[in-house]
């Protein structure tokens, strides 16, 4: 009873705060001239024209093994924390209940944006023929539904017990046997392995859902994502904005009061704003296509799309092609407003 009343109070607080937060964001956007819809396309063309594929390829080849050896995305404290939770991934009413519920948003977000680029080839399996990397897959909560959509999905995670949980759960569904696989490793290890065995650009899409806020080095993360995804391929990220509101609701309320997630799950200092994340991805050869706010209702246990990115948000970026054709890129590049309209339809 207390939880429900407090949850309604929190939602009321969000409702009152959201208008002021949105106003501040819009005001800042107006002063800086920033607009996701207008800027993404312009930046994509500008970056494509200024890129030098041969130089980028040689630099990437020479840096990838050194970077993976000297820098890591893994935070040992985070590994220990998730090690203790490795057996609880598939408890839909437990510590990961919010992640189970998030599939109602993130799975269509990934599917619809990929279908804007790749035409569905198989009825009932719209992602058939696509290869997806799920970074920080945990117990496979997102890996499995993407596999059921027909994609060939590799889930990776540095926590071996989580990978064991994922493999065990997937083994119960024979339909997943040929389309879902798991590997206990880091993104940088897989990236270095790909350089030696498979070559760069092996995946049509990379997914990192509720992951970047747990990483030790976001620069290495972005660098390795750019290495493993194909030119023209997609990167999908869901994470938490770095705002006062995200601290109040994402940590104080969610962890300490309502205990929606275990206490200590998040470190506010690791949160990142959409603008900061876009700059990071842009410097590693990506062009951000869309950013959409997400809101969790602790009363209903459901997620919904929102215009405000003050707390949670989803981002879709595309890796720039090595051989850009500016006129074609302008015509074929997916626009941020396309997905926004789709998600509210």
Any known ligand binding at 136? yes
The least confident of 11-25, 167-181, 277-291, 311-325 is 11-25
Residue 153 and residue 166: Cα distance in Å, rounded? Answer: 13
Handedness of CA 274, 278, 280, 281 (dihedral sign): positive
Beta bridge partners of 154: 133, 181
Count CA atoms within 13 Å of residue 334 on its CB side. 26
**pLDDT tens, residue by residue, 125-165:** 999 999 999 999 999 999 999 999 999 999 999 999 999 99
Residue 12: pLDDT over 70 = no
Burial, 137: exposed, middle or buried (Cβ in 10 Å; 0-12, 13-18, 19+)? buried
Residue 206 and residue 202: Cα distance in Å, rounded? Answer: 10
Residues of the domain holding 141 = 73-319
- With contact defined as beta carbons under 8 Å apart, do 165 and 87 qualify? yes
The answer to the question of residue 294 being in a domain is: yes
We report the CATH number of the domain holding residue 277 as 3.40.50.150
Residue 303 and residue 286: Cα distance in Å, rounded? Answer: 27
The least confident of 30-34, 151-155, 176-180, 316-320 is 30-34
The answer to the question of residue 328 being in a domain is: no
The answer to the question of residue 297 being in a domain is: yes
- With contact defined as beta carbons under 8 Å apart, do 136 and 338 qualify? no
Any known ligand binding at 106? yes
| Bigger pLDDT: 288 vs 253 | 288
The least confident of 15-29, 128-142, 174-188, 233-247 is 15-29
Say what the pTM is.
Answer: 0.75
What's the DSSP call for residue 254? Answer: I
Any known ligand binding at 330? no
Residue 300 and residue 288: Cα distance in Å, rounded? Answer: 31
Residue 41: pLDDT over 70 = no
Structure confidence at residue 188 as a pLDDT band (50, 70, 90): very high
Main-chain dihedrals φ then ψ at residue 315, nearest 5 degrees? -130, 140
The answer to the question of residue 26 being in a domain is: no
And the tokens for 104? 């109602």
| Bigger pLDDT: 52 vs 237 | 237
| Bigger pLDDT: 21 vs 264 | 264
Number of domains in the chain: 1
**pLDDT tens, residue by residue, 82-136:** 999 999 999 999 989 999 999 999 999 999 999 998 887 788 899 999 999 999 9
The answer to the question of residue 203 being in a domain is: yes
The answer to the question of residue 56 being in a domain is: no
Question: Which helix (DSSP H) or strand (DSSP E) does residue 332 occupy?
Answer: helix 326-332
The answer to the question of residue 88 being in a domain is: yes
Mean pLDDT score, 5-12: 46
Any known ligand binding at 157? yes
Any known ligand binding at 91? no
Residue 339: its pLDDT value, please? 44
The answer to the question of residue 333 being in a domain is: no
Residue 279: pLDDT over 90 = yes
Residue 68: its pLDDT value, please? 45
The three-point CA angle 195-196-202 to 5° equals: 45
Residue 325: pLDDT over 80 = no
How does strand 229-240 pair with strand 312-319?
antiparallel
Residue 199: its pLDDT value, please? 44
Any known ligand binding at 80? no
Residue 49: its pLDDT value, please? 44
Any known ligand binding at 210? yes
- With contact defined as beta carbons under 8 Å apart, do 222 and 239 qualify? no
Residue 332: pLDDT over 50 = no
């Amino acid at each position: 009873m207390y939880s429900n009343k407090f949850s309604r109070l929190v939602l009321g607080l969000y409702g009152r705060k959201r208008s002021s937060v949105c106003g501040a964001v819009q005001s800042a956007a107006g002063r800086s001239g920033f607009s996701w819809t207008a800027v993404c396309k312009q930046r994509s063309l500008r970056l494509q024209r200024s890129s030098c594929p041969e130089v980028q390829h040689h630099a990437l080849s020479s840096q990838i093994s050194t970077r993976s050896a000297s820098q890591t995305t893994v935070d040992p404290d985070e590994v220990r924390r998730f090690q203790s939770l490795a057996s609880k991934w598939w408890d839909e009413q437990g510590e990961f209940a919010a992640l189970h519920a998030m599939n109602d948003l993130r799975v269509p977000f990934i599917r619809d944006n990929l279908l804007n680029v790749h035409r569905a080839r198989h009825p009932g399996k719209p992602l058939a023929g696509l290869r997806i990397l799920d970074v920080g897959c945990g117990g496979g909560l997102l890996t499995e539904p993407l596999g059921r959509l027909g994609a060939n999905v590799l889930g990776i995670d540095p926590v071996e017990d989580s990978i064991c949980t994922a493999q065990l759960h997937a083994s119960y569904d024979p339909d997943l046997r040929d389309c879902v696989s798991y590997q206990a490793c880091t993104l940088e290890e897989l990236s270095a392995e790909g350089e030696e065995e498979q070559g760069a650009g092996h995946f049509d899409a990379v997914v990192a859902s509720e992951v970047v806020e747990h990483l030790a080095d976001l620069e290495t993360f972005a660098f390795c994502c750019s290495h493993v995804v194909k030119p023209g391929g997609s990167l999908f990220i869901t994470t938490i904005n770095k705002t006062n509101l995200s601290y109040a609701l994402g940590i104080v309320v969610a962890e300490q009061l309502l205990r929606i997630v275990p206490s200590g799950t998040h470190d506010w200092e690791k949160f990142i704003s959409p603008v900061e994340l876009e700059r990071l991805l842009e410097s590693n050869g990506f062009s951000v296509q869309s950013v959409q706010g997400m809101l969790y209702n602790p009363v209903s246990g459901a997620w919904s799309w929102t215009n405000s990115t003050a707390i949670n948000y989803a981002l879709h970026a595309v890796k720039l092609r090595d051989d850009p054709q500016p006129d074609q890129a302008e015509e074929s590049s997916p626009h941020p407003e396309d997905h926004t309209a789709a998600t509210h339809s």
